[in-house]
Amino acid sequence: MKKHYFLRLLFVLCCALNSSVLLGQKKTEPKDSLATYSYQELQDRYYAYQSDSIKAIAYAKAYIRKGLLEIDTLNIASGYFLLSDITGNSKYFVDYWNQIITSLKSKKNKKYPALSYLKLGDFYYTKGKYDLAVSKYIKAEEFGEKNNNDSIKFIAIQRLGMLKSINGDEKIALNLFKQVYNYFNGKTLKEKYTYNYESLLLNITILFIKIKQYDSAYYYNDLAYKLSLKLKDTSVIGYPILYNGKIDLLNKDYFKAISNFKKSLPYLIIEQNYASISDCYRY
């Protein structure tokens, strides 16, 4: 699966914050040349040169410099994520968000430190460090509640539901997901895209499949499918088709299941989700 896929399924907010973080660089291209690149171009080159860590590090640092110059908190963090990823040292990303937490913890700020805790939770989640992720999500929920930021609060609750599901606590997970569903259900289409409502619907679908409530699974999966079509979100469309196939298979509607697996394949191949592609062929 593409490296950015999990991040695509995570919460994104646009914001800006001054940062005093400075970072040295080791040039492999002229500084002025790197400065002309967009964030997307720097990211693309970073992934293209991952086999050459010196070049990849240079692109990550250029990404950070660009964020610092533009006073763009989230893009600075994205740069530190790239740097931590290529060096195998989580210190860069974690220290950045911890500095923001320390500087704003005692201040009344609607986004921080709640968003900082959420980002740290997501980082630990991707690393499989679920205990650390839980502690950060609980803090994100706490500060979201305290500073009247319901969006961050419910995103943190959704993450906790994901971890409960991984842990096999389906009923607790489902309860948490439904809280989030009730909150975001009335939001605009744009807000649903921003807060990744599609992934919530798919998470609920998966849970209902696990507890063998296939009618409910089909209902939420259908919502996810229709929303992905409305948003023209090709990165998601293949998954509700895949889950329809799984539900059909469990209902012993084999011809329909095969048809849905075949329909999902082009989307899954584009997303490079080899596990799901393998599932289609296995079924």
* pLDDT for res 15: 33
**pLDDT over 50 (residue 9):** no
For 32-41, 102-111, 158-167, which range has the lowest pLDDT when averaged over its residues? 102-111
Do residues 94 and 120 touch, judged by C-beta distance below 8 A? yes
- In 3D space, the residue among 179, 184, 110 whose CA is nearest the CA of residue 145 turns out to be 110
Give the tens place of pLDDT for each residue, 38-80: 999 999 999 999 999 999 999 999 999 999 999 998 899 999 9
Do residues 82 and 46 touch, judged by C-beta distance below 8 A? yes
Q: Quick one: pLDDT band at residue 161, thresholds 50, 70, 90?
A: very high
Arithmetic mean of pLDDT over the chain:
86
The residue whose two tokens read 């991707």 is: 126
Give the tens place of pLDDT for each residue, 213-241: 999 999 999 999 999 999 888 899 999 99
Tell which wins on pLDDT, 67 or 4: 67
Give the tens place of pLDDT for each residue, 162-174: 999 999 999 999 9
Q: Quick one: pLDDT band at residue 32, thresholds 50, 70, 90?
A: low
- In 3D space, the residue among 15, 192, 41 whose CA is nearest the CA of residue 100 turns out to be 15
Token couple for 25: 């660089």
- Distance (Å, whole) CA 280 – CA 269: 11
Q: Measure CA 175 to chain center.
A: 21
* pLDDT for res 145: 95
Contacts of 133 (CB under 8 A, 6+ apart): 121, 122, 124, 125, 159, 163
**pLDDT over 70 (residue 12):** no
- In 3D space, the residue among 90, 144, 142, 148 whose CA is nearest the CA of residue 120 turns out to be 90
Question: φ, ψ for residue 18 (rounded to 5)?
Answer: -65, 145
| Averaged pLDDT for residues 127-146 | 95
- Distance (Å, whole) CA 273 – CA 276: 6
| Averaged pLDDT for residues 29-43 | 80
- Distance (Å, whole) CA 63 – CA 121: 22
Give the tens place of pLDDT for each residue, 171-196: 999 999 999 999 988 888 788 777 77
- In 3D space, the residue among 151, 101, 171, 91 whose CA is nearest the CA of residue 123 turns out to be 91
Give the tens place of pLDDT for each residue, 249-269: 999 999 999 999 999 999 999
* pLDDT for res 28: 47
